[in-house]
Amino acid sequence: MDQKTVRFSRKDPAQFFRTLNKRVNDYFKENKLKKTGNWRLHLKTLIMFALFLTPYFLILTLGLPIWANLILTIVMGIGMAGVGMNVMHDGNHGAYSNKKWVNKIMGGSIYILAGNVYNWQVQHNVLHHTYTNIHEHDEDMEAGRILRFSKHAEWQKHHKFQHFYSVLLYGLLTFNWAITTDFQQMYRYMKRKLAYGKLPSAAVNWSTLVITKILYITIWIVLPLIFVDMAWWMILLGFF
């Protein structure tokens, strides 16, 4: 990614941030709301983890017919999205709980979603929230040549059909995240010394990445291949 310099206006920053923070704090105070998750988020956590993990154990243990396993994998997908967009997201923002260890556990759920805490916090908390929707800086806007999310990205003829084929490609994102993207991101971020907070040691970061990837592949691919009486290609299809 070509890193061009982005400069934000420094005109009257103190008043802007002071006013913004006051309004946000007043909102929570006036409405008697916590700045971290409440019982609704905790209930949502139970529901999403149940949708995500219960079908997995049913598939492994009950020897269900193919059509039932297919339905359960769809339910798992819904639960997986719910865990990612609610539990993991809020945990890695430090907003799930006022206890750091709880946030760490909930944020760590990203490891069973194919991701990595360090990479996600840099990409999302640092880059996305600093350079939101800025081409070549917000990596959420980057999809190679296959998809085009910004008017500044190079246009290709096939992009006129991306609203059709993108739906099919999203199933490959998790697999791509698991085997290539995280390794590329970690190399790039560590080289640039980017971090959300203190920069972790390279040894710890890379060891965590490799170990969690092995566990991820074991849980979602190896164990089903061992315990589920289905053709290997069907299991991989369910994974995608």
Structure-token match 């339910």, residue found: 75
How does pLDDT run across 98-152, given as a tens digit for each residue?
999 999 999 999 999 999 999 999 999 999 988 888 888 888 888 778 888 888 8
Mean pLDDT of 53-69: 93
Burial class (CB in 10 A: 0-12, 13-18, 19+), 109: buried
* Percent composition of the chain: helix, strand, coil (DSSP 3-state, to 5): 70, 0, 30
List the chain domain ranges. 34-113, 114-149+157-228
pLDDT at 30 over 90: yes
| Cβ–Cβ < 8 Å for 79, 51 | yes
Rounded distance between C-alpha atoms, residue 108 and residue 90, angstroms: 11
pLDDT the model gives residue 79: 95
* Closest CA relative to residue 36, chosen from 88, 85, 98: 98
pLDDT the model gives residue 35: 87
> What is the length of the chain?
240
How does pLDDT run across 155-180, given as a tens digit for each residue?
999 999 998 988 888 777 788 888 89
pLDDT the model gives residue 42: 94
For the entire predicted model, the pTM comes to 0.87
pLDDT the model gives residue 13: 62
Mean pLDDT of the chain: 89
